[in-house]
Amino acid sequence: MLTRIDHIGIACFDLDRTVEFYRATYGFEVFHTEVNEEQGVREAMLRINGTDDGGASYIQLLEPVTEESTVAKWLAKNGEGVHHIAFGTADVDGDAQAIADKGVRVLYDEPRRGSMGSRITFLHPKDCHGVLTELVTSAPADEQH
């Protein structure tokens, strides 16, 4: 069951400048940064709020680290902006299977590593009314890194 918005992914050309905009304009501080080589991104997670199930909601700022990155390709076509939304679930495997059974293309056979040790998969935007949609199961709080 999808229980919360885990994050909204925003593609940007310059992560440091975009982080500074979010800090100066809204007061949001960086909670976590990492490079995810597999996803081809350098990212900053800005924690916005906690939620009823113990999870949190974030803004995920994404800067491509390679020319081949899906985010680089998207930026070249669209410029900066909202790239995807991510729903949180305790069971990304079960929910991805249930959604695939409804005829929506799930992009990965098995969930991959996402921010802070989470497990993630994506639904094809063309099957989701134009919205690239991510499903996330967070790592347990003491295993987030």
Positions marked active-site: 7, 43, 60, 84, 134
By the 8 A CB rule, do 114 and 36 touch?
A: yes
Binding-site member from 46, 63, 114, 119 for ligand CMX (CB under 6 A): 114
Neighbouring C-beta atoms of residue 36, cutoff 10 Å: 17
142 in helix, strand or coil?
A: helix
* CA 82/CA 84 separation, integer angstroms: 6
By the 8 A CB rule, do 120 and 106 touch?
A: no
Q: What is the closest distance, in whole angstroms, from the C-beta atom of residue 136 to ligand CMX in the complex?
A: 8
The tokens 């003491």 sit on which residue? Answer: 142
Residues 69 to 88: which contact ligand CMX by CB under 6 A? 70-71, 73-74, 83-84
- Based on CB atoms, which residue is closest to ligand CMX, 52 or 109? 109
List the structure tokens of 138.
Answer: 């967070």
Binding-site member from 12, 15, 41, 61 for ligand CMX (CB under 6 A): 41
Q: What is the closest distance, in whole angstroms, from the C-beta atom of residue 39 to Co ion in the complex?
A: 8
Binding site for ligand CMX (CB under 6 A): 9, 36, 39, 41, 60, 62, 70-71, 73-74, 83-84, 107, 114-115, 122, 124-126, 130, 132, 134
